[in-house]
Structure 1
Amino acid sequence: MVDGANGFVGSHLIGALVARGDSVVALARASEEVVRRKVADALTTLHLDPDLAMKVQVRTFSLAEPDLGISPSDVFSEPCTYWHGAALITFFPRREAELHAVNVVGSSYAAATFTRHAKPGSRYVHISTAYQHGTTQGKALEQWPDYNHPSEFRNDYEHSKRVAEVQLSQTGLARNGDVLVARLGVMVGHSGTGRALSDLGLYDFLRVIALFARRTPGERVRFVCHPRAALHLAPVDGTVDRLLALAGGPLDRPVRHLVPAAAVPVTDLFATISAHLPVELVAVTAEAVEAEPFSRFEAIVNMRCKFTSPYLRHEYEFESRGDAEPPPVTPRILDLLISWYLREGLPE
């Protein structure tokens, strides 16, 4: 069972599951037609037969209802692995109540529904983000988290994902060892082709930069960055492989970081983007901007990137182990990711 079935990770996960012969129930708010199209697209990305999407059973569900608006006897008829990945992802302000309703209360409803109705031998996988660590200094450890004040996070989304993990840690699922928390890195496209049907994270940043670069070519744009800023970009194919392996193995370590061992330096990211667009992206310190303030153009671009650029201002270190680490994004893969999106992924 996979909820959030029409999302980027959910659709690719379903594609990989049905391709290996699993019986899959996809739970989504979207229509059956939308879910099957998203899964077919994901199967194409993974170099698998898109017609396999027709084997997926689609059910409408709602995280706003205690039993998810589903028929438990229908979907919990035999032991299963329940993948909870449905979430609201937004960095916009004044969305705290919505984020709490979906990512915290909705997650608690999903776990409670599984606890009440799943057959013995079932497993529960909670998809989270490695960036629930917030702005806390030091290495993010593979352990259940403590509650932190909202001020310790870059946005309300991160805080909502932390609170959801804290609540899950207090359930019988955690006490009985029937749960896996998979904290993902920055999800990007396929490592072999760069293909990614997504507009989140890196792709939101690329969309904004491309818009300004093509309207006003030849400009320089500076961003305030940590001197050692790097992003843990995780290709979707390698991430799905790790998810399947971890969920099928022993759950003796309930919290895992699915992030590559080597992150992509922001300077490399900027250089690759600048090689494909008529713009020069430059990483600078806050002191440099204070000495030479942003131009009007730079200020506008920074304002449009204000929800993603905070991730450039920190250094991240995540505890991880080889069995959970997707293969790293090499310079060749990074070039594929950028070039594919700028060529085929940008909205019309």
Structure 2
Amino acid sequence: MANHVVDGANGFVASHLIGALVARGDSVIALARASEEVVRRKVSDALATLHLNPDLAKKVQFRTFSLGDPALGTAAPDVFAEPCTYWHSAALITFFPRREAELHAVNVVGSANAVTAFTRHAKPGSRYVHVSTAYQNGTTHSRTLEQWPEYGHPSEFRNDYEHSKRAAEVALSQTGLARKSVVLVTRLGVMVGHSGTGRALSDLGLYDFLRVIALFARRTPGERVRFVCHPGAALHLTPVDGTVDRMLALADGPLDRPVRHLVPAVAVPVTDLFAAISAHLPVELVPVTAEDVEAEPFTRFEAIVNMRCKFTSPYLRHEYEFESRADAQPPPVTPRILDLLISWYVREGLPE
């Protein structure tokens, strides 16, 4: 039985990770600012999503913590009593403007505090896994490699969240953990639900976009909405079940490649995504170029929808290429899986 400590335990990825760990018989200490009741409910829901016994959530040990405290706001010697794998998953995810200071405090300073606590208290043989995002690459048009990043100016990123995740990786690369090769950075794609059922307990990423589109489609059905897209735009949609499988395999294996992209080898073209959404909602989503919009300006309705999607739409305007090896690639989202993901959320996940 292996020992694991997972912070941000009530998050989408972390709760599924914890569920998979306890299901295979490992010991898990869950760290979260949220209450124990919330964490256990999230883990129980995640276990159900993974087709595992929800009652296994009772096996999770719980501790309150704070990323603002170098000791994590808990009894660190207790948390690190045994050699363990520490999963740093806690983060603030927001694309809203004027949140730079808060994002830095949580995602950069908080990450540094987690490293400090691990460095001071973790027993020999322990490992540190930092959960990041593939989109820390910012607006670069070149292939993003599986290597430690260099500093990037805030202007090189679509939002402050991306910049904060890059800064956290840069800081981690300069620590003793990186020099000792006991650290793994897992850069995730656009997280979505279960590949077999489409079930997703998340309102972020694709689901935020779906929620906005559904709101307008149901109010004014039959409208056409154009979005400016790169001709080769595609999203690396990444099912949570495949992602957790890859995270566990990489964390258990050799740490000779400390930075890994957990993204499918084949991304979902935006044209396919739009067609799938239009098949389940009374709306016609159309990818166009900036020149198309200049020739035929947005209608008032299109302009409003685009404004409401302003935190998602920038990701449609770029083409991404991430270096990745087969052992880190979750299975791709096929047309069948894409239909499952969208149909489940339209049926079960949207607010009434």
Q: Tell me the TM-score range normalised by the shorter chain.
A: over 0.9
1:187 and 2:191 matched: yes
The CA RMSD over aligned residues, in Å, is 0.4
Q: Where in structure 2 are the equivalents of 1:178-257 lying within 5 Å? A: 178-257=182-261
Q: Indicate the SS of the match to 2:200.
A: coil
Distance in 2, matches of 1:25 and 1:304, equals: 39
Q: Indicate the SS of the match to 2:44.
A: helix
Structure 2 unaligned blocks of 5 or more: none
Aligned with 1:330 (options 329, 334, 341)? 334
Aligned with 2:52 (options 39, 42, 48)? 48
Amino acid corresponding to residue 293 of structure 1 in structure 2? P
Runs of 4+ residues over 2 Å off in structure 1: none
Distance in 2, matches of 1:95 and 1:343, equals: 33
Aligned with 2:346 (options 329, 342, 348)? 342
1:131 and 2:135 matched: yes
1:147 and 2:151 matched: yes
TM-score of the two chains, using structure 2 as the length reference: 0.99
Q: Indicate the SS of the match to 2:187.
A: strand
Q: Indicate the SS of the match to 2:310.
A: coil
Distance in 2, matches of 1:267 and 1:137, equals: 20
Q: Deviations over 1:295-320 (max 9, x none)?
A: 00000000000001100000000000
Distance in 2, matches of 1:193 and 1:114, equals: 37
Amino acid corresponding to residue 213 of structure 2 in structure 1? I
Q: Indicate the SS of the match to 1:165.
A: helix
Q: Deviations over 1:262-304 (max 9, x none)?
A: 0000000000000001100000000000000000000000000
Q: Residue 122 of structure 1 corresponds to which residue in structure 2?
A: 126
Return the offset for 1:51. Answer: 0.2
TM-score of the two chains, using structure 1 as the length reference: 1.00
1:310 and 2:340 matched: no
Q: Deviations over 1:234-271 (max 9, x none)?
A: 00000000000000000000000000000000000000
Structure 1 unaligned blocks of 5 or more: none
Aligned with 2:267 (options 263, 266, 284)? 263
1:23 and 2:46 matched: no
Q: Where in structure 2 are the equivalents of 1:265-284 lying within 5 Å? A: 265-284=269-288
Amino acid corresponding to residue 224 of structure 2 in structure 1? R
Amino acid corresponding to residue 135 of structure 2 in structure 1? Y
Q: Residue 164 of structure 1 corresponds to which residue in structure 2?
A: 168
Distance in 1, matches of 2:89 and 2:11, equals: 8
Q: Deviations over 1:74-127 (max 9, x none)?
A: 111100000000000000000000000000000000011000000000000000
Amino acid corresponding to residue 258 of structure 1 in structure 2? L
Q: Indicate the SS of the match to 2:186.
A: strand
Distance in 2, matches of 1:206 and 1:83, equals: 30
Instruction: Give me the identity figure in percent.
Output: 86
Distance in 2, matches of 1:278 and 1:129, equals: 32
Return the offset for 1:347. Answer: 2.3
Q: Deviations over 1:177-234 (max 9, x none)?
A: 0000000000000000000000000000000000000000000000000000000000
Amino acid corresponding to residue 256 of structure 2 in structure 1? D
Aligned with 2:180 (options 176, 180, 200)? 176
Distance in 2, matches of 1:325 and 1:112, equals: 30
Distance in 2, matches of 1:73 and 1:177, equals: 23
1:68 and 2:77 matched: no
Distance in 1, matches of 2:32 and 2:64, equals: 5
Amino acid corresponding to residue 351 of structure 2 in structure 1? P
Distance in 2, matches of 1:342 and 1:28, equals: 30
Amino acid corresponding to residue 198 of structure 2 in structure 1? G
Return the offset for 1:72. Answer: 1.4
